Amino acid sequence: MVKVIVAGYKGRMGSTAAQMVIDNPDFELVGVYDARSQDQNLGEDDRFKGQDVPAFHALDKIKTDATVWIDFTIPTAVYENATFALKHGISPVIGTTGMTDTQVKNLQTLAKEKQIGGLIAPNFGISAVLLMQFAQQAAKYFPDVEIIEMHHDDKIDSPSGTAISTAKKIAEVRAPKEQGNPDATETIPGARGAEYEGMRIHAVRLPGLVAHEEVMFGGPGEGLTIRQDSFDRISFMTGVKVAVEKVNQYHELFVGLEHLL
Ligand SMILES: NC(=O)C1=CN([C@@H]2O[C@H](COP(=O)(O)OP(=O)(O)OC[C@H]3O[C@@H](n4cnc5c(N)ncnc54)[C@H](OP(=O)(O)O)[C@@H]3O)[C@@H](O)[C@H]2O)C=CC1
Ligand SMILES: O=C(O)C1=N[C@H](C(=O)O)C[C@H](O)C1
């Protein structure tokens, strides 16, 4: 039985993850954490009526025997949360996006020091993991690429963690390249999107969307578009489940679900 605490349980992803833990006979939800909630117990939340799980609102009040910390919170909270988990011997399974490269490195160092397994996954969806792998493969042959990520309009960070991760994977295999016309100008600043190592990333935010990404490649006389869609947040739960099952077996913190698949 894997004992789990879920941070951000009031939110879209945290509530879905809490339900996944409750529904899994091999997992036990032993705590939930959400900084601004008033609940003393998860059962006070209408979506979880009948559940008896302590709810916490401040890191220094958390008392738990959890071995896994699932985090779907906000970019400004996740680093402190993951540090807390590692310092208390709890393996972090982090879905929250928006951490800096330095923060990720610091967490990896701490996990190694403490000999604790952990995972930061910019995307727990299998379609997104495959899209990133396929895009990396295609970039060897098509160095000209544009990334378009599309999300619901409540998303805080942009570009998405998945888009940044896609760009990083592409940058690993292609020589640095400034795309387009070197004399190009932007009549309205930002028209060409964000720039990462010569690639352009475009962030679309619209009600009705969940999480979607297209990677467009262009070459002489041809093009290739790779697309993935998360139509429902349940799409992320297969990956979260695998991470919860496996993360305690490791002694380092990985970035990317592919390391545990
Ligand atoms: N890796 C993946 O596969 C996926 C990652 N994500 C990422 O997960 C994160 C959460 O997304 P989503 O569920 O849509 O966002 P929500 O805004 O729905 O949920 C975030 C929750 O965290 C709470 N919160 C805020 N501060 C803290 C804190 N200090 N400690 C604990 N909880 C806190 C928020 O409370 P309040 O509203 O009161 O501020 C809210 O309930 C985002 O970074 C998103 O990019 C999303 C989908 C998939
Ligand atoms: O905020 C979201 O919704 C999502 N965030 C992650 C990201 O930033 O890539 C993963 C997925 O795209 C959904």
Interface confidence (ipTM) of the complex: 0.98
> Sheet harboring 253-255: ordered strands across?
55-56, 27-33, 2-7, 68-71, 91-94, 118-120, 253-255
83 confidence band (pLDDT: 50, 70, 90) = very high
Average pLDDT over every residue of 66-95: 98
What pLDDT shows up at residue 176?
79
What pLDDT shows up at residue 175?
83
The whole-angstrom separation of Cα 80 and Cα 115 is 19
The whole-angstrom separation of Cα 204 and Cα 183 is 26
What digits encode the pLDDT tens for the residues 146-187?
999 999 999 999 999 999 999 999 999 998 788 889 999 999
Whether 160 is in the pocket of ligand 2, judged by its Cβ within 6 Å, is yes
Could you write out the DSSP letters of every residue in 231-248?
-SGGGGHHHHHHHHHHGG
Percentage with pLDDT > 90 across the chain: 97
The whole-angstrom separation of Cα 155 and Cα 39 is 24
What digits encode the pLDDT tens for the residues 114-138?
999 999 999 999 999 999 999 999 9
Would the CA dihedral through 106, 257, 35, 25 be positive or negative?
negative
List 253's β-bridge partners, or say none. 118
222 confidence band (pLDDT: 50, 70, 90) = very high
Mean pLDDT over all residues of the chain?
97
Pairing of strands 118-120, 91-94: parallel
What pLDDT shows up at residue 178?
81
The torsion angle over the Cα atoms of residues 36, 39, 40 and 46, rounded to 10 degrees, is -150
Pairing of strands 27-33, 55-56: parallel
User: What is the pTM assigned to this prediction?
Assistant: 0.96
Neighbours of 249 (CB within 10 A): 9
The whole-angstrom separation of Cα 230 and Cα 94 is 18
What digits encode the pLDDT tens for the residues 177-210?
888 899 999 999 999 999 999 999 999 999 999 9
83 marked as part of a ligand binding site: no
231 confidence band (pLDDT: 50, 70, 90) = very high
58 confidence band (pLDDT: 50, 70, 90) = very high
Q: Which one of 45, 57, 72, 160 would you pick to mutate in the ligand 1 pocket, going by the greatest count of ligand atoms within 8 A of its CB?
A: 72
192 marked as part of a ligand binding site: no
Whether 10 is in the pocket of ligand 2, judged by its Cβ within 6 Å, is no
